[in-house]
Structure 1
């Protein structure tokens, strides 16, 4: 029964739901600094104030790739009830990190997934994310990569040597993977996408990484199909500051997008009832100092209690 409840909660959150209940707790996965020390977790009862767990010490330290980084950790609950995580392992590698856990305490061996190995000129694989495609019973792994010369029309407006587009693979078991394909070309340098389902369509929150003229803001795009048909990006939904690393959930009946205000060295957030009109609520959200790009997700109260009991420094 506990497994079925976990899968049900996961399935609801995958389709754009995520309202708080007395029996659930919000968790936020994130990194600090350059990602050298590994995975950090924070928790919140209300979705606005987040407290670092484990005295803000890492839950998992990185072991894969030469650089051994654990940036941009994305965690979702899989259809198997386990937590699955992907992350950026390096500035320049052609693959990502992957590990899984039944409880966020005990983790599988870390693996390097060479998702861009067949593209030898690819410069990087940044900010991978996971989405579980319920109808197809498979996971979508997607990320940003620059392949020099691939999109010359926006190369001059890029950020130094980078001119990213979004790519993806699918897998049912994290053992066998589809061929790598282009997921989204919005006509500009794009990174840090995260996807949710809302009604009969999908919504993608993304960063416009255009340097000239500078954008560095978050936008929204839609599609009726998960891996194709993505429409043009919207006007910016963030304000007059540089934002990246969006992660979203339904909070108090509203879409809430958290992000890294990286020039200001703090986290921010915007909210919307309709995904069109946005209100900046950055002054309402509070994270520990040094919190960077991560993912919000939910666990049950009993799972959180188990997590607390396993830590040398307990929350509350």
Structure 2
């Protein structure tokens, strides 16, 4: 749920927590928590961009082996789309159920009409995230308020799944609600799960971690955590240090698969910019987070309000086999990792993500026009044009078929001059020069100093 106005006119009618609380017994692993066999992750999201050229309110998927660098599936197109209600979704969430299959939940909202009210959420079943079956909407309440950003976790003491979501209470501020279900078809009566007395939205849970259950949420454009030794509604108490990056929402907790103590916290900036930021902690109990360098992570292109679920190697492999990886790449600057290589007015440069047209930053790295062992950068949105140097400046020109053009548009990919895990690109016909940025404009230059090496180093991703 992103950049929504405060919907104080939407009120609950008679919202006493009338459902009796069952005794809560031993806790099991919950949403976002890894199982022993997990070795990768899947992300669910929808897409938007600053001028809304990328606006698509279907279910999108991406995969990652480390939870930081992401590969969109299905060419970053949706793999499923709602067929009822608003006919669109926001805020998708994936839960692996107790039987090992998956359920997908999402807000019933197509676009940004914040006045639209739905008492329902979208639901799909999936055995493997390759097929989506049993599409339906599940009703959560009868009140004149929304059901935003649904997530779920298993409550072992109740023997039921808890579905939490954001809605407005009788005092006119957003709270985190909960309904209990066994089948994600019929939900029990709604209860207030977390109401600290001020506006909170976008709840995300980590269940049964070191004797605590953790709830992260948006508070005053920051991400904050609460915790409890039980899963009872009303039992959570705020405890963590708030984190933010120029207004952040949609917290997503992700357990590292390679470290027993490391957790990541993802957050999304307000719509429609859709920039993700990530923080790291070595102790979820400490409640303090350190911002990660943007070099270390790359979100799927135009992704918004994600849900992340650990998966097995086989599931990762099968997802890639089913949906395929993008036919294009994006290039991130090493020393300005918020910026990506793009063309603008047919000039090559690096600009800060997110921007439109977003297709300006998509490239096909094809065999070099002058030497097939090299690469040429073919524009996705101007496929007759390639990046080439002219008087050492890079520009996007139509391939005229000459050997001069082919030479100017061919580069040899090498280990990154500033980081061998990244990439640098040496000119074919000016072999002492590399692609680099200078004042954010791309050119080919000799490279010797550390600063120049950083200017000439890029991450090839998506």
- Give the match for residue 3 of structure 1: none
Q: Residue 178 of structure 1: CA displacement?
A: 1.7
Structure 1 stretches of 4+ moved >4 Å: 312-316
Normalised by the length of structure 2, the TM-score is: 0.57
Provide the rounded CA distance (Å) in 2 between the counterparts of 1:143 and 1:304. 28
Provide the rounded CA distance (Å) in 2 between the counterparts of 1:313 and 1:137. 39
Tell me the SS of whatever aligns to 1:310: helix
- Give the match for residue 199 of structure 2: 189
Q: Residue 95 of structure 1: CA displacement?
A: 1.4
Preserved contact between residue 41 and residue 316 of structure 2 (Cα < 8 Å)? no
Provide the rounded CA distance (Å) in 1 between the counterparts of 2:288 and 2:249. 19
Q: Aligned to 2:319, which of 304, 307, 311?
A: 307
- Give the match for residue 28 of structure 1: 43
Tell me the SS of whatever aligns to 1:109: strand
Structure 1: 5+ residue runs without aligned partners? 1-10, 156-162, 209-214
- 1:136-181 Cα offsets, whole Å, 9 max, x none, are 332110101124xx12xxx5xxxxxxx2111111111224432111
Tell me the SS of whatever aligns to 2:166: strand
Preserved contact between residue 62 and residue 70 of structure 1 (Cα < 8 Å)? yes
Structure 2: 5+ residue runs without aligned partners? 1-26, 110-115, 328-460
Provide the rounded CA distance (Å) in 1 between the counterparts of 2:212 and 2:104. 25
Normalised by the length of structure 1, the TM-score is: 0.82
Preserved contact between residue 101 and residue 107 of structure 1 (Cα < 8 Å)? yes
Provide the rounded CA distance (Å) in 1 between the counterparts of 2:206 and 2:163. 13
Aligned ranges 1:1-316 → 2 under 5 Å: 14=30, 17-18=33-34, 24-33=39-48, 36-65=56-85, 67-90=86-109, 91-117=116-142, 119=143, 122-147=144-169, 150-151=170-171, 155=172, 163-197=173-207, 198-208=209-219, 215-234=220-239, 236-251=241-256, 252=259, 253-262=261-270, 264-275=273-284, 276-281=287-292, 283=294, 284-311=296-323, 313=325
Provide the rounded CA distance (Å) in 2 between the counterparts of 1:41 and 1:127. 17
- Give the match for residue 212 of structure 1: none
Q: Residue 288 of structure 1: CA displacement?
A: 2.4
Q: Residue 296 of structure 1: CA displacement?
A: 1.1
Provide the rounded CA distance (Å) in 2 between the counterparts of 1:272 and 1:79. 28
Stretch deviating more after TM superposition (247-256 or 136-145): 247-256
Judged with a 3 Å threshold, the aligned counterparts in structure 2 of structure 1 residues 92 and 19 are, in CA distance, closer, same or farther, namely same
Provide the rounded CA distance (Å) in 1 between the counterparts of 2:79 and 2:32. 27
Preserved contact between residue 33 and residue 206 of structure 2 (Cα < 8 Å)? no
Q: Residue 124 of structure 1: CA displacement?
A: 0.9
How many aligned positions are there? 283
What RMSD in Å do the two structures reach over aligned CA positions?
2.5
Tell me the SS of whatever aligns to 2:125: strand
Q: Residue 97 of structure 1: CA displacement?
A: 0.9
